[in-house]
Amino acid sequence: MERPLSLLEPMSMPDPRFPVKHGKMKAAGKGATLFPAHWHNHIEVLRFRSGQARVEVNHVPFDAGPGDVMVFNSNDIHMGLLSSDEVEYDILIADLALLQSQSPDAAETKYITPMAQNRILFRNRISGDEALASILDRLAEEFRERQAGFELSVKSQLYAMLTLLLRGYVELRLSEQESSARLRNLARFEPIFDYIEAHYTEDITVEELAARASLSRYHFSRLFRQLTGRTVTDYVNRIRINKSEYLLRSSEKTIAEIAMAAGYNDLSYFSRIFRRYRGYAPSEARSRVAAEAPEDADPLAR
């Protein structure tokens, strides 16, 4: 089987001398992939305008809707699925090197450099913060209008955003040694994540993955949990359930066929696992799609 592309996403910028970009995104198709699992060295901020999405960050699920802000730190593995028929959101991606200089001052040394080096990690989901929403609105306006002083204003708004996040939403602070170790382990485990994504329907053992990483079973399991917050079994089940929920919402396959397609040979076991992760039965996932459809929608349309 061809090896899947790396989860590391190369990040192009419209202006490499000013590495920050902003856009308005719209997607449709309940259960469809909003963005596949990936990571990059930039900070990314999504502000949801309408619709609902299931967003996973380092394989921790979040439900996001209007007014919610998702923050992806540098090197956070993130993916999204549509939970509604349509979704609209703003996206901001910035290389924090933009805020660094050849002659660093105290603010850069104490705050910007640790953020850029992934030593200060922010909370992933933020709700109901009007001050943050106002900053993001001003950034959207600057990118839309691009008046004189555009770059100065964008940098000032980025500083304001980071200050707000620093004061209210720091999730974790790492030392340089801890950050370097995390980055090394992420690079080392990237082929493992790729392998699981390509073979999640098969029986995957910890021993097999540990051998691929050239680690003992104990050391592999410890590092895997540090990076993902999950055991291997939990990680694989989450991938399988995500895939099966997409099929339940978007295909005509029977539940038994979907269970097989997701790697579950026992329908009863699949139903138990699905309910454990979603809080409802596979059959309910399909009935929810029908219940949420507009009354005048074509019942044959998919």
- What is the chain's mean pLDDT, rounded? 85
Domain boundaries, the chain: 5-173, 196-284
Q: pLDDT for 198-256, tens place per residue?
A: 899 999 999 999 999 999 999 999 988 877 777 899 889 888 888 888 888 788 899 99
pLDDT reported for residue 103? 54
- The pLDDT, as a whole number, for residue 8 is 65
Q: What is the pLDDT of residue 297?
A: 36
Q: Domain 5-173 adopts which CATH fold?
A: Jelly Rolls (2.60.120)
Candidate ranges 15-24, 28-37, 126-135, 291-300; pick with highest mean pLDDT: 126-135
pLDDT score recorded for residue 48 = 97
Structural tokens at position 194: 């790729």
Closest C-alpha among 253, 245, 247 to residue 281: 245
C-alpha angle 265-271-275 in degrees, rounded to nearest 5: 140
Tokens of 79: 């993916």
* Better pLDDT: 114 or 80: 80
Band (pLDDT 50/70/90 cuts) for residue 164 is very high
- 196-284 CATH fold: Arc Repressor Mutant, subunit A (1.10.10)
Query: Which of the pair, 260 or 59, is modelled with greater confidence?
Result: 260
pLDDT of residue 299 exceeding 60, the answer is no
State the DSSP string of the chain: -PPPPPSBPP---SSTTS-EEEEEEEEE-TTSEEEEEEB-SSEEEEEEEES-EEEEETTEEEEE-TTEEEEE-TT--EEEEESSSEEEEEEEEE-GGGG--SS--HHIIIIIHHHHTT-EEE-SEEES-HHHHHHHHHHHHHHHH--TTHHHHHHHHHHHHHHHHHHH-EEEE--HHHHHHHHHHHHHHHHHHHHHHHHTTS---HHHHHHHTT--HHHHHHHHHHHHSS-HHHHHHHHHHHHHHHHHHH----HHHHHHHTT-S-HHHHHHHHHHHHSS-HHHHHHHHHHHS-TTS-TT--
Asked whether the domain spanning 196-284 has the same topology as the one spanning 5-173, the reply is no
